[in-house]
Structure 1
């Protein structure tokens, strides 16, 4: 298994409350990339919202390959958004990409 740091980009098309953002972060906290060497070194944030309401979700994923890690990250990000009232129309996601590879076992 390999530990990946995956970034899932997206855009909030409507206003998002602090409670919704906090809820997304709470839901994803177990996958915080700060637990990885790369996350610590780069000081990666779990959820970053930029100007223009674009955002990035960064997750630590253990998987056998890149495609599996990217798919897992996208599913987790979608679930966290939906559980906090943000539909695909409110917060569409872009393709998940590998930001870093922490270690191989």
Structure 2
């Protein structure tokens, strides 16, 4: 298995409260790339919001056999975490996942 860092862009169409942001981060615990050497080296934050925009990016670490599986796992993680704070796919649509880091087995 290989460790991948997958970036998922998204857009918030509803406001995310500070409490929901904290809960979203908590829901993604364990997939935070800052918890790995790769994430620290790349200085990746789990959740990035862009100023003056409703756009955001999630940077997730997943373990998978190939890139397609890594992208699918990251999307599943992100979708479940967003739903856990009350954000549906319509309220926080996600873009296509992109592999932004790979660490060997």
Whichever structure has more helix as a proportion of its residues is 1
SS for the counterpart of 1:19 is helix
CA distance in 1, matches of 2:100, 2:63: 13
Moved more, 57-66 or 13-22: 13-22
Aligned to 2:64: 63
Report deviation, 1:16: 1.3
| Structure 1 stretches lacking a partner, 5+ long | none
TM-score by length of 1: 0.94
1:101 is displaced (CA, Å) by 0.2
Q: Deviations over 1:50-96 (max 9, x none)?
A: 13110111111000000000000000000000010011111000011
Task: Within 5 Å, give how 1:14-93 maps onto structure 2.
Answer: 14-51=14-51, 52-93=53-94
Which residue in the other structure is 2:4 paired with?
4
Tell me the distance in 2 between the aligned counterparts of 1:18 and 1:96.
Answer: 25
In the alignment of these two chains, the number of paired residues is: 104
Two-structure CA RMSD over aligned residues (Å): 0.9
- Provide the TM-score with structure 2 as the length reference: 0.94
Runs of 4+ displaced beyond 6 Å: none
